[in-house]
Amino acid sequence: MNLMPLASLGAVETNGVVTFGLWLPWVSAADGNIVTVKIIHERDQFLQAMPAREFQLAHSVRPPYGDFWSATVPIASTAPAVPGSAWGSQGRYVYRYAITNPSVGTLDWIIDPFAREFGVGKQSAFTLGYQAYVWSSGEAQWRTPALADLILYEVNIAEFGNDLDRARGFVAYLADLGINAIEIMPLSNVGNSVDWGYLPIGYFGVDERFGKRSDFQELVDICHQHGIAVIVDVVYGHTGIDFPYYDAYTRLRYRENPFMGPFAKDYFSNFGKSTDFNREITRDYFYTASHHWLDVYHVDGFRYDCVPNYWDGPMGVGYADLVYQTHQLTKAKIAAGNAYWSRFDAGPGRPLALVQMAEQLEGPEEVLRTTYSNSTWQNGTFDAARAVARGDRGRLFDLGLKFGLFGYPDQETVNGDNIPKTALQYIDNHDHERFLCNFGTYNPDEAGNPLFAEGDRTRWYLLQPYLICLLMSKGIPMLWQGEEFAENYFLPDFGMGRVSLLRPMRWDFFYDDSGRPIVSLVRRLLHVRRQREHIREGTYFFFNDWDRYQQFGMLLFARYDGARYTLVAVNFGDTDQSVPFWFPMAGDYVEELHGGALDLKNIPALQQVWLSVPSHYGRIWTLGRP
C-alpha cells in the first residue's frame, strides 16, 4: 500500500490561496468531461443574493490512478462578486464539485473525497486563515497504555456530550472513574444530522455536527493529559450512498466503478455500498486515512467496523493487509524519529502499543490468530450474559468460560513481530439495548411507541454480579456510556429507530438511588483492576462445578500469577449463598469491595472454607494486604 499525497489532495489553503485536487479515474477531459468547484463563504450560504462562485479544474493524468483534476483559487486576493459578500475574508468556506458530462449533463453536489472539513449537508469545507493546532507541552511524553492495561469506555459524542466542546468537560470524570481509554464511535462525515456514523461520506476530518478538527485535537490532547488513550471507530468496508466515489460514478452511469463494489461480504447493501479492496486506489485511500488520523489527530488506534465486508482471509489484500501495513508504517515512523509517533514505542523488545481492534464477530478468534490485529470485539460473553439474565442458569457454565476468553490467543509472533492478543469483554455496547432491559421494561410513552421503552431501574441491583465479573475478567473490559450509573434505554434490533433517535446520557442518573450504588461499585472495581497486575494480565481459572456452585447461581473464578492470587465469587441468584472453597495458598485474604469483617484471616492451604456471598452481588478476596 502507498500513502496518497494529501498535500495536493482536497482543499489546501496557503496564505489565502486554495489549491484543489482529486483523482477521478476514467473521467477525462478527452471524453468531453468538465469538472468545476463551487465555493461560498459559510456566512453567505443561505442568502439568495449570494451565489456560490464556480471555478474550472484542469485535467491531467497523474500516476498511479490516472485522471487527476486540480485548480488554484486565490480567494483572499479576489474581490467579492456581490457587494456585502464575505468572500475573501477569513473563516470557513463550503464547496462542492460538479461534473459536466456529454452523455448525462451536469452532475452537481459532489463532495470532495479528500476534504478535511465539512459543511452542513452534502458540502465539503476549508478554513481561510486556518491555524494548525498547537499541542500541549506534555503531548510528546504521552505513551499509549499497554494492551493488557486498557480499560475502555465507548462513547457516541452526540449523546455523551452533544459535541466535542462539551465532551472535553467530562474527561476528568472518566479518569476519576478509572477509565484509561475511550473508543469513539465514527467521527467521519455522514449525510444526516442525527446518525451513528456508520455510513460515511467523508473520511479525512471530523463531521461538522461535532465541531472543528481542532476541537477533536484538543479532546485528544486533554485525554492524554488525563492518562486516557483515544481509539476511533473507522468504517472502511462500506460507505454511504453520497460518498463521492459511489455517487459520481453511479450518476455518470458507468458500468464499473474504480473504487466501489462487492469485495467480501456485502452487508449494508440496502442502505450503503461496499468498497472494493481489489482496487489499488481503494486500498491506498483507506491506508492514507488511517495514517492521517494517527499523524494529525494523534489517536492511539482504531476499531475497524464490520471487518467481514473487507475480509478475504489472512493473506488477502483487504483487512489483513491493511492492519499489517499500518503496523509496519508505525514501526517505520518510530524508527525515523517522527514527532509524536513515539507514543507507540514501549521500549526495546516490547511490542507496539498501537491498538488495532477488529469488529469481526463472525470469526474473532481467527482474526486474532491470523492477522496483525491485537484485539477484537466478540459477542460470546454478551450472548451468555444475556441468556443468564433472562433466566437460563445453565448458561453460567458458558459465561464462566467466556469471561476467561477460552480459545483466544494471548500473543502471536509473526515476521519477528511479537504481538500481544486479547478480546474485549462487554455486556453493553452501542449495538444493543441496555443490559438492564433484560430484567424487564416499561414504556413511559402514553402513545405506547416501543422506541421509548426503558429498562426498569428499580432493579439496578441485578446488574451488580455481571459488572463484578466483567471488570475482573480476562481481556479488555469495556463500559458503554452511562452503564456505570444504570442507563436504561431500549434499542430495537433493526430499523431507522436505532440510529435516527438520539439517546443522550442522563447525567441526573448519576445522583439517584439506582445510579449511586452502581457508580460506587464500578469505581471500586476499576480501582482494584488498576492496582492488581495479576487481574489485568494473570491466568484465569474457572471453577466449573455445577453441584457446588452453578446450580445455586454461583460463579467462581480466580485470577493469579505466581504468589499473587485473587478469588472472585459472584452470586446471580435471589438468595444469599454459602459455598465451600479450598484456597490454594495459605495466608490472609483481603476482601476488595468492603474489607473489614469480610477479610479472611489465617486461611490454611487446601482446606475447606465456607464463603458467604449475598444475592445479586459478589466478593473478591485477594491474598495479602494491598
- The residue ranges of DSSP E strands in 212-272, in sequence order, are 229-234, 238-239
Q: What are phi and psi of 75, to 5 degrees?
A: -65, -45
150-175: average pLDDT: 95
pLDDT of residue 626: 44
pLDDT of residue 197: 86
625, pLDDT greater than 80: no
- On the question of a common fold for 150-240+280-531 and 539-623, the answer reads no
Residue position matching grid coordinates 453536489 = 109
Q: What are phi and psi of 123, to 5 degrees?
A: -140, 140
Beta bridge partners of 260: 275
Confidence grade of residue 270 (pLDDT, cut at 50, 70, 90):
confident
pLDDT of residue 607: 96
Q: Structural domain boundaries of the chain? A: 6-128, 150-240+280-531, 539-623
- Give the angle subtended at the CA of 467 by the CAs of 389 and 478, to the nearest 5°: 110
DSSP, res 265: -
**539-623 maps to CATH 2.60.40.1180:** yes
Whether the pTM exceeds 0.85: the reply is yes
Confidence grade of residue 500 (pLDDT, cut at 50, 70, 90):
confident
156-179: average pLDDT: 95
As a residue count, the chain comes to 626
State the fold for domain 6-128: Immunoglobulin-like (2.60.40)
508, pLDDT greater than 70: yes
Domain 150-240+280-531: give its CATH architecture: Alpha-Beta Barrel (3.20)
**Three-state secondary structure call for residue 127:** strand
Confidence grade of residue 269 (pLDDT, cut at 50, 70, 90):
confident
447, pLDDT greater than 60: yes
Ranking 96-100, 474-478, 498-502 by mean pLDDT, the lowest is: 498-502
181, pLDDT greater than 90: yes
pLDDT digits (tens, 9 = 90+) for 452-492: 999 999 999 999 999 999 999 999 999 999 999 999 999 99
pLDDT digits (tens, 9 = 90+) for 369-378: 999 999 999 9
The DSSP-derived string for 34-77 is EEEEEEEEGGGTT-TT-PPEEEEPEEEEETTTEEEEEEEEE-TT
Which long-range contacts (C-beta less than 8 Å, at least 24 apart) are formed by 393-399? 393/550, 393/551, 393/553, 393/572, 394/550, 396/550, 396/553, 396/555, 396/572, 397/544, 397/546, 397/550, 399/469, 399/555
299-309: average pLDDT: 97
Name the residue among 596, 472, 590 with its Cα closest to residue 528.
Answer: 472
556-566: average pLDDT: 97
443, pLDDT greater than 60: yes
Rounded-to-integer distance, Cα 248 and Cα 251, Å: 5
Calculate the alpha carbon distances from 111 to 97, 115, 135, 572 in Å. Answer: 6, 8, 30, 53
Rounded-to-integer distance, Cα 85 and Cα 95, Å: 16
Give the chain's mean pLDDT: 96
86-100: average pLDDT: 96
Q: How far apart are the first and last CA of the chain?
A: 50
pLDDT digits (tens, 9 = 90+) for 45-64: 999 999 999 999 999 999 99
Return the percentage of the chain with pLDDT > 70, whole number. Answer: 100
Strand order of the β-sheet with 17-23 is: 10-14, 17-23, 66-74, 58-62
Beta bridge partners of 124: 95, 118
543, pLDDT greater than 60: yes
